[in-house]
Homo-oligomer: A and B are copies of this chain.
Amino acid sequence: MNNFLNSTSSVSEFVGASEIGDTIGMCIPSVDPLLLGQLSVQKQYSVIGVLSARTGAGPQIMAMDDAVKATNTEVLDIELPRDTKGGAGHGSLILIGGNDPSDVRQAIQVALDGLSKRFGDVYNSPAGHLELQFTASASGACHLAFGAPIGKAYGLICGAPSGIGVVMGDTAVKTASVDVLSFASPAHGTSFSNEGILHISGDSGAVRQAVIAGREVGLKLLAELGAEPVNDFPSYIK
C-alpha cells in the first residue's frame, strides 16, 4: 500500500492523503460562517480540521484520539457513513477544531500517520471483517464516538457479519472484569452496518485481556465462512 502523504497539492486546505482506507485530511484555516452554521459542531472554532475516509471508522477515530491528545485541538463531530466500498462496515467523517491552523494541520497529520498502526488489528476475509482497538487512556474522539470515559482504558471488539460480534462480545466480557459501555448492532448504534461491536472500559490490563480474547474467537468464527481473515498491517494489541 502506498501512502500519498508527501503529495504536493495546489489546494491550500489539503494536508495529506493515504491509500489506507482512502483517507484524506484537510484543514480550513477560516471556515465561512454560512457553512459553519450548517455543520453539526458543538463549539464554534474558526479553524476546522477534516479527516474523511471511505473505509474505516474505528481506526480513524482511534488515530484521531491519539492526535488530539498530542495537539492543542478538540474533536467537534464524528459521523459514520455506511461505507467500506461494498464491505460490511463504516467509513468516517471527523471534524476537529482549534485556534491555530498549524495546530489543526499537525493533528490531522498525526492522525494520518497513525492509520497503519490502528489498522493493525483489522482483519478482512471475503466474507467479513474483525476490528479490535485498545487504548490505555481514552481521549475526546473515543468519548464523543463511543462514550468512553476520558483518561480510562477503552477497548473495541467488532465482528462482521454482526453475529460474530455477539459471540466475540460474550467471550470478552467472560474473560476479564470490565465495564460494558454499549453493544452496537445493525439496528442500534451503527449506521445499519453489518457489525456487532462491544465497547468496554475499565482497568487497562482487563480491557486488553478482554479484547485479545474477543479477537481469538472472532478469527476462528470468521474463518468458518471460507477463508482465513488477514490484517494488512502488524497487530499492535499484545
Contact = CB atoms under 8 A, between A and B. Distances in A.
Interface of A: 4, 7, 9-11, 13-14, 17, 19, 22-24, 26, 28, 31-32, 34-35, 37-40, 48, 50-54, 79-83, 85-88, 91, 93, 95, 127-128, 160-164, 166-167, 169-170, 173-174, 180, 182-183, 185-188, 190-196, 198, 217, 220-221, 224-226
Given A28-B167, A81-B186, 15 more contacts: A4-B224, A26-B163, A34-B180, A35-B169, A35-B170, A39-B183, A53-B161, A79-B186, A81-B161, A82-B186, A82-B193, A83-B193, A85-B86, A93-B196, A192-B192
Contacts of A170: 13, 28, 31-32, 35
Contacts of A31: 170
A162 B32 contact: no
A161 to B, nearest CB: 4
Contacts of A28: 166-167, 170
A83 B46 CA distance: 34
A191 B186 contact: yes
A186 B217 CA distance: 32
Closest 5 CB pairs of A and B: A52-B163, A86-B86, A81-B186, A81-B194, A38-B183
Residue among A19, A39, A82 with max Cβ neighbours from chain B (10 Å): A82
24 contacts: A4-B226, A7-B224, A9-B224, A13-B170, A23-B161, A24-B221, A26-B163, A31-B170, A32-B174, A35-B166, A38-B180, A38-B182, A80-B187, A81-B88, A81-B186, A81-B190, A81-B193, A83-B161, A83-B194, A91-B186, A91-B194, A93-B163, A93-B186, A187-B191
